[in-house]
Amino acid sequence: MWCFSLIVFFVTCSQFLAQEEDRKEIFLGGIFTESSDLDDSVLTDEEAFNFAIDIANREYTDVKFTAVIEESDARSNGPFDSRLKSCSLVNQQALVIFGPKNEEEIDIVQSICDYKDLAHVITRWVYNSADYRSVINFYPHSAYLTSAYFSVLMLWEWKSFTVFYEDDESILRLADLLNLAKNEGIIVTVKQLYEGLNETPVYRTTLKEAVRSGEKNFIIDCKIENLEEVLIQAQQVGLMTSDYNFFITNLDLQTIDLEPFQYSEANITGLRILDPLNEMFHVKAGAILRQKPNFNLMKMRTETALLIDAVSVITQVINRKLSIKDMEMVDITCNSPKSSRHGYTIANHVKTSKYDEMTGRIEFDGNGFRSNFNLDIIELTQEGISKIGTWNMSKGLVMLSHKVEDVVEDPFSLRNKTFKVITCLTDPYCMLKETSIQLFGNDRFEGFAIDLIHELSLMEGFNYTFILREDKQNGDKNQSTGEWSGMIGDVIDGVADLAIADLTITAGREEAVDFTSPFMNLGISILAQKPGTAPPSFFSFADPFALDTWIMIALAYAVVSVSFFILSRICPDEWTNPYPCVEEPEFLINQFSLSNSFWYAVGSLMQQGTELAPIGVPTRMVAGMWWFLILIMVSSYTASLAAFLANENTITLFTDVDTLVENYQEKGIRMGAKAKGATEGFFRGKDREVYKTIAKYMEEHREDMVGDNKDGVKLAKTENYAFFMESISIEYETQRHCELQQYGGLLDDKGYGIAMRKNSTYRKTLSTAILKMQSSGQLDKLKRTWWEEKRGGGQCVGGGDDETPALDVRNVEGVFYVTIGGTICAIFLVLLEFFASLLKLKKKYKIPIREALNNEKKAFIDFSSNVKPAPKAKSKSGSKSSGESGKTNNNTGAPTYGFIPTITKDTLDE
């Protein structure tokens, strides 16, 4: 018998070991940062992770899940440290990575998981997760939490409240709620909980300010570790009485000790997602208690429960949705090009399935955000925490202790509704798609308004059908009948539920229909052609210096030239020996005659120099100062010359609405706007004289009014026409028509909104959604898409402004004319000097002018020689001078007119 029992034992063990060997091993990675101040009754994230994996391994027999954990120090080097730990998990073949908790480190882990095709699981609040396919966030999405917060505030009908926030994440978490409150006209005060410099946080200063403000309603958003201390210090400053109401946004309110506040009669309310009565909560908690008996179930925090749920969901998907036997585990590392093929698959299965876990129903929307979850509304009473209501996406807020009328409609309650949306073909709000394929229904259209309605429908879950208004009329009121035309009339008559286009919110229209919050802010301005360019001035090259500067330069030139002449006459060093070989000359010469002085100054001014050079110290001093002046002036002139030559003088007909009205008759400018539109209506009944003039002109010149903005743009391009239109439309047109520009500022301040029938129940919902799109940057992104990117946008951005324009000949023609003029003057001067020389020869040498002219002409036409005969005087007998008759020039062989006289000072002076 003993032997038989032993055989059975060995057989059982061998079967168990064989079964263990057949199980596929899957590695689940985790990055956890634990706080050192947690007591033994609190479950850490690492413990919860291991417990959840143990539960899964006991449930499934085909696969074995193994935990690989990297502990992150709170003082670690942020993203760099998380990258190293993520790569460590990748190298250990982790198929899914959980964590980390630090928001700064989440993006780097997401990017690595997305690159390596690994599923990434998050269990904390994030405002707007990046667009990664592999990420799964089990924490309720920020927008849905804001909806729950707002529903509670609407139930209480708070007209004002004060927000206490802890850090940047706190204020970001409440941003959407603040926008909703502002839209409802609720007065909001925001204060940061200042901790002070002590080890124990001190919030009393901020809380005392709240007491002095007289506010009775408070919202507190802070970490659960600090919440108890905030409430204690609030009690110390006298805020814990029946006069005050507190709403706690943290989902872990029930985990702290609230006994000190149970009898304060202060109204303390909060939310929780972890229901202690949930069956799955007790099942999982029982399994944990068997391994950790001192664990306190009431201290289980939301993120811990979400981590357990996430492990449970992930292991279910891997075991039930994937083929374990066919799974090929690729040996990947961070540095290798290989990647897993299962991360996106796991994420998609999780996002498209439904689960019931500790935190209730787990379900995701189309964007991968957790939705359709249940929240309990809890309140602190004398008996402790009490559940007073519930909230979910479909039913909104339902208060259990009140009657049916206390049910508050969810602001996002447009799901499964269908709207008829009327619009018109106006660029870029609604346009027909450019395609060769025949399209039907909503597929025919594209544009800013089309995308806006589409985004709103995704956010609110409604359906829509577009209706086209052929005449493109926004709407105008008939003063005699009181009826509205255009799209406004269609909304009033029930033809459409919504109207969207470049539809301006005006006081008259708001009396007839309701509008959402503006999705675009703008004002009226003027569109017209860019100013023309005037031809450059003849002396444009002189523009770098003003007239007074040129006068000062000319005056300095004259003074310096005269100074050279005078100083050189006085300075002994400037009198030099004309014959260096003669030691004792009969006379001395001075090179700086009056003409040479002026010529020397001109050479320096033109930076060309001359053969003259000052010798004396005084003349050199004057020359140095003159050169310094010329250096500065020429450098300044050269630096500015190119800019002035390339500069084009514009011919501006007007600059704003005032100058337009002043000059439109004199300069023949036509004015207009879209007929029967809000822009035309703006000028009616205005007290300002300028606006009265424009309104009168529009009334008298109906031919200048256009039926469509496109016609106005065309007139502005081709004619002397000023078109009044919205600034946002002007921005669109100037992106595509570079010859047009906006003139002046905005004449008013208004916005475009979505119109609907008066007292529509969905106005608030759509306005809230538009505010969310504004805060998230979606509206700006849509605007950039349709203004600057699509349909020819961005053509006039840059436009070669950074390139230096080529100089046209007209910019420098003055320089050529000055050069030609100087040459012509030189020709006249040489002729004048030539004839003066002939007269001088006639008088001095007693020869006829004709003979002197012939002699000069022979020398002039002899281009092979640079030498000509010297003039000579005739003897009375007409014979040649004695002793020199027939002599030739010894140097050149050219005949001479007579003897060469002895050079003396008198002959030099002569």
Residue 751 has pLDDT above 80, yes or no: yes
Based on the domain organization, do 603 and 710 belong to the same domain? no
Asked if the structure places residue 802 within a domain, the reply is no
Asked if the structure places residue 450 within a domain, the reply is yes
Residue 144 has pLDDT above 80, yes or no: yes
- CA dist 676 and 500 (Å) reads 18
Asked if the structure places residue 413 within a domain, the reply is no
Q: How confident is the model at residue 910 (pLDDT cuts 50, 70, 90)?
A: very low
Predicted pLDDT at 755: 92
Based on the domain organization, do 151 and 237 belong to the same domain? yes
Asked if the structure places residue 38 within a domain, the reply is yes
Based on the domain organization, do 306 and 261 belong to the same domain? no
Percent of the chain whose predicted confidence (pLDDT) is above 70: 81
Based on the domain organization, do 688 and 776 belong to the same domain? no
Asked if the structure places residue 739 within a domain, the reply is yes
Based on the domain organization, do 663 and 768 belong to the same domain? no
The domain boundary, picked from 647, 681, 701, lies at 647
Based on the domain organization, do 547 and 611 belong to the same domain? yes
Instruction: Summarize pLDDT for 851-906 with one digit per residue, the tens.
Output: 777 777 776 676 666 666 666 665 554 444 444 444 444 444 444 444 344 444 44
Kindly state the DSSP code that residue 685 receives in the 8-state scheme: T
pTM: 0.48
Based on the domain organization, do 560 and 639 belong to the same domain? yes
Predicted pLDDT at 352: 85
Based on the domain organization, do 159 and 249 belong to the same domain? yes
Q: What CATH number does residue 180 fall under?
A: 3.40.50.2300
Predicted pLDDT at 220: 95
Based on the domain organization, do 602 and 468 belong to the same domain? no
- CA dist 507 and 496 (Å) reads 21
Average of per-residue pLDDT across 530-553? 72
3-state SS, 354-419, equals CEEECCEEECECCCCCECCCCEEEEEEECCEEEEEEEEECCCEEEECCCCHHHCECCCCCCCCCEE
Based on the domain organization, do 114 and 21 belong to the same domain? yes
Based on the domain organization, do 780 and 902 belong to the same domain? no
Q: How confident is the model at residue 98 (pLDDT cuts 50, 70, 90)?
A: very high
Structural domains in the chain (count): 6
Asked if the structure places residue 46 within a domain, the reply is yes
- Domain residue limits at 601: 540-647
Predicted pLDDT at 647: 64
Average of per-residue pLDDT across 740-748? 84
Percent of the chain whose predicted confidence (pLDDT) is above 90: 11
Predicted pLDDT at 641: 73
Q: In this predicted structure, which of 398-402, 441-445, 497-501 has the lowest mean pLDDT?
A: 398-402
Predicted pLDDT at 907: 46
- CA dist 564 and 623 (Å) reads 8
Instruction: Summarize pLDDT for 379-422 with one digit per residue, the tens.
Output: 998 888 889 999 988 788 888 754 444 444 454 467 778 889 99
Asked if the structure places residue 818 within a domain, the reply is no
Higher-confidence residue of 31 and 532: namely: 31
Q: In this predicted structure, which of 16-25, 77-86, 102-111 has the lowest mean pLDDT?
A: 16-25
- CA dist 309 and 302 (Å) reads 10
Q: What CATH number does residue 585 fall under?
A: 1.10.287
Hey, what are 254's tokens? 């029930």
The domain boundary, picked from 647, 681, 700, lies at 647
* Whole-number average pLDDT of the chain: 79
Instruction: Summarize pLDDT for 611-657 with one digit per residue, the tens.
Output: 788 877 777 787 778 777 878 878 877 777 766 666 666 667 778 88
Based on the domain organization, do 60 and 129 belong to the same domain? yes
- CA dist 507 and 74 (Å) reads 56
Predicted pLDDT at 273: 92
> 524-557 burial, b if ≥16 CB within 10 A, otherwise e?
bbbbbbebeeeebeeebbbbbbeeeeeeebeebb
Instruction: Summarize pLDDT for 272-324 with one digit per residue, the tens.
Output: 998 888 888 878 877 787 778 777 778 888 999 999 999 999 998 888 877 66
- Contacts by 273-276, CB closer than 8 A, 24 or more apart: 273/140, 273/302, 273/359, 273/360, 273/373, 273/374, 273/375, 273/376, 274/300, 274/302, 274/305, 274/358, 274/359, 275/360, 275/374, 275/376
Predicted pLDDT at 11: 46
Q: What CATH number does residue 776 fall under?
A: 3.40.190.10
Residue 490: other Cβ atoms inside 10 A: 21
Asked if the structure places residue 827 within a domain, the reply is no
